[in-house]
Structure 1
Amino acid sequence: MIKPFQFQANDVKVEKRETVFQGFFRMDKLWLTHPRFDGREMPVFTRELFIRGDATCVLPYDPVRDEVVLLEQFRLGALGRDQSPWLLELVAGMNEEGESPEDVARREGQEEAGLTFSELDKICDYLVSPGGSTEMIHLFCGLISTESAGGLFGVEHEHEDIRAHVVRVEDAIAMIHDGRINNAAAIIALQWLELNRSRLRKEAK
């Protein structure tokens, strides 16, 4: 039986690369080839690659009150679908040069929700859409108190308009099941919380 990951990054040959768009985001076009599983070489083909930096997302959770904080804000990518383009999401932000994911988590917790995390529990790192984007998400659960959480936040010059909602864990999970929460970071984090909730609540006592 052949094990996975027989090929590595150095097996890919990039014959040519050019930037075809540079705006708020960047798009590159690549001409490349790589070995095939059957031993042949793939003919040179082209792909467009969305160049987007890594980001960090945090699910704020109060293990004593058993509540999470979810952020409601407008998302252009959801416009035109059969749903509201205002989504319920996690605290999130792009990683700036020189910042660790933990630095970003703490900065964005303050900017987007007025929250200070007492502890950050690493959930996972995952590629958002590796078929065409470079973005990696660093995902955490951040422990907080929801006693005075909630309200309006966001950095105005970045055109952020955010409402922070305090939500019971059962209600947040129900919103995954009925489709009201349908973005990957929130789904992954809340499902992780389902698996780790008892441990976190026990450790908080």
Structure 2
Amino acid sequence: MTEPFQFNASDVRIEKRETVFQGFFRMDKLWLTHPRFDGRDMPVFTRELFIRGDATCVLPYDPIRDEVVLLEQFRLGALHRSQTPWLLELVAGMNEEGETPEQVAQREGQEEAGLTFARLDRICDYLVSPGGTTEMIHLYCGLVSTEAAGGLFGIEHEHEDIRAHVVSATEAIAMIRDGRINNAAAIIALQWLELNRARLREEATQ
């Protein structure tokens, strides 16, 4: 059997590229070809690519109180689904030029939830939807105290309107099972927490 990853980015040939939309987001159209697994070359084909920078997401967790902070805010992409478009999500923000994911995590923790993370545990980096967008998520669990957490946050001139909720870890994990939480970053982070929760709680008492 052939091992995976026999090709890399240098095997892709881009014949032409043009920006077809530039607004709050950007969309490019590409004409490209690449080798096939059977040894032939793929005929030149076109794809539209949603150009979006990397982002950082953080699940705030208090291992002493065994609580998480989840942010409720309006999301346009969920508007025409059979659910409310106000979602429960993680602290999150786009990575600006020159910022590390850890710096983004701390900045967004303050802006969106009034939180400063005592420690950031890296969960993973993942591609959001690589069939059509460039976005990569840097995902963390951030240790905090939830004693005074919660309330209203967001930068008004950026049209942010955020309510921070303090929820027991048990309840938050249950929200995945019943569909109240159905966005990828929150699902991945909470499933990671379920696997690492006992360790984090033990470390917090040492």
TM-score (norm 1): 1.00
> Does structure 1 residue 79 correspond to structure 2 residue 79?
yes
Alpha-carbon distance in 1 for matches of 2:202, 2:156:
39
> Does structure 1 residue 187 correspond to structure 2 residue 173?
no
Q: Report the 3-state secondary structure (helix = DSSP H, G, I; strand = E; otherwise coil) of the residue aligned with 1:179.
A: coil
Q: Report the 3-state secondary structure (helix = DSSP H, G, I; strand = E; otherwise coil) of the residue aligned with 1:134.
A: coil
1:59 alignment counterpart? 59
Return the offset for 1:40: 0.4
Return the offset for 1:24: 0.2
Partner deviation per Cα, 1:98-123 (whole Å, 9 max, x = no partner): 00000000000000000010000000
2:32 alignment counterpart? 32
Partner deviation per Cα, 1:75-106 (whole Å, 9 max, x = no partner): 00000100000000000000000000000000
Alpha-carbon distance in 1 for matches of 2:184, 2:17:
30
**What pairs up with 1:1-16 in 2 under 5 angstroms?**
1-16=1-16
Partner deviation per Cα, 1:124-146 (whole Å, 9 max, x = no partner): 00000000000000000000000
Alpha-carbon distance in 2 for matches of 1:179, 1:38:
41
2:107 alignment counterpart? 107
Q: CA RMSD in A?
A: 0.3
Alpha-carbon distance in 1 for matches of 2:81, 2:198:
36
Partner deviation per Cα, 1:33-75 (whole Å, 9 max, x = no partner): 0000000000000000000000000000000000000000000
Alpha-carbon distance in 2 for matches of 1:174, 1:200:
19
Aligned residues: 205
1:153 alignment counterpart? 153
> Does structure 1 residue 128 correspond to structure 2 residue 154?
no
AA matched with 1:85 = P
**What pairs up with 1:80-99 in 2 under 5 angstroms?**
80-99=80-99
Unaligned segments of structure 2, at least 5 residues = none
Q: Report the 3-state secondary structure (helix = DSSP H, G, I; strand = E; otherwise coil) of the residue aligned with 1:64.
A: coil
Alpha-carbon distance in 2 for matches of 1:172, 1:26:
34
Alpha-carbon distance in 1 for matches of 2:204, 2:2:
45
Q: Percent identity?
A: 85
Return the offset for 1:22: 0.1
Return the offset for 1:31: 0.1
AA matched with 1:103 = Q
AA matched with 2:98 = G
Return the offset for 1:189: 0.1
